[in-house]
Amino acid sequence: MKKIHIILLVGIAATIAVLISFLQNTSTYDTVATAKSKPGKFVHLMARWDKSAPLEYDALKNPNYLSFTAVDTLGQSVKVVYHQPKPENFEISERLVLKGKYQDGYFDCQSIQTKCPSKYKDDMEAAKKNVQVSEAVENK
């Protein structure tokens, strides 16, 4: 067996080992129910902001405290606490990817990824409004 072949095998073995250890460390995409079922474990929670529930954020008092209720597609909700400034486009987002863990009755969030409706749809709404406005003007 050539030395190169041995090194090749060692390299491939190392690659496989690296990938297996990577898989051990991965997290999962979860719903509220499954996130609650594994408290203390880091997950990606897919949900959206429940606008009917109160949102607690006072930039003057504490800019690093945001608390709101997230609801997933199955309709279950959970209280979320986020110890960083509120993301800029939080209000307009239609979906949130919340990274963190469920513990002590709330979801302790480390980072929020906001999924905004594409600008494209936004502007369509705006365009529609413009059209309606200009029509209203015309009708008068």
Partner 1 sequence: MDYIGEHLLPGQLGHFFIVLSVVASLVATFAYFKVTRTASSVDAGYWKKLARAAFVIEVVSVAAIFSILFYIIYNHLFEYKYAWQHSSRSLEVKYLLSCFWEGQEGSTLLWSIWHCVLGLVLIKTSKTWEAPVMTVVSFAQFCLATMLAGLYVFGWKMGSNPFTLLRDSGVLDSAVGLHINADLTQPLRPDYLSFIKDGNDLNPLLQNYWMVIHPPVLFLGFASTIVPFAFAVAGLWTKRFSDWTKPALPWALFSLAVLGVGIMMGAAWAYESLTFGGYWAWDPVENASLVPWMILAAGIHTLLIYKHSGHSLRSTFLFMILTFIFILYSTFLTKSGVLGEASVHAFTDSGMNVQLVGLLVLFFFPSLILFLIRYKEIPSIKKEENVSSREFWMFIGSLVFFLAAIVISAKTSLPVFNKIFGTKIAAPEDEEFAYNQIQIFVAVIIGVLTAITQYLRYKDTSSSFFWKKIWIPTILSIVVATLILATWPRLSRRHLAGNCSICVCDNRQCSLYLAWCKGKSQAFRRIDRSPGFWSCFAGHPYFFIQERDPFQKHQRHRHRFW
Interacting residues toward partner 1 by CB under 8 A: 2-4, 7-8, 11-12, 14-15, 18-19, 22-23, 25-30, 42-44, 97, 99, 110, 118-120, 123-124, 127-128, 130-132, 134-135
**Closer residue to partner 1 (CB): 91 or 135:** 135
CA angle 68, 105, 25 (to 5 degrees): 95
CB of 79 to partner 1, least distance (A): 21
Is 22 or 58 the residue whose CB approaches partner 1 more closely?
22
CB of 127 to partner 1, least distance (A): 7
CA dist 128 and 126 (Å) reads: 5
DSSP 60: T
Q: Name the residue nearer to partner 1 (CB basis): 9 or 53.
A: 9
Pair 114, 87: CB distance under 8 Å = yes
Q: What are phi and psi of 112, to 5 degrees?
A: -120, 125
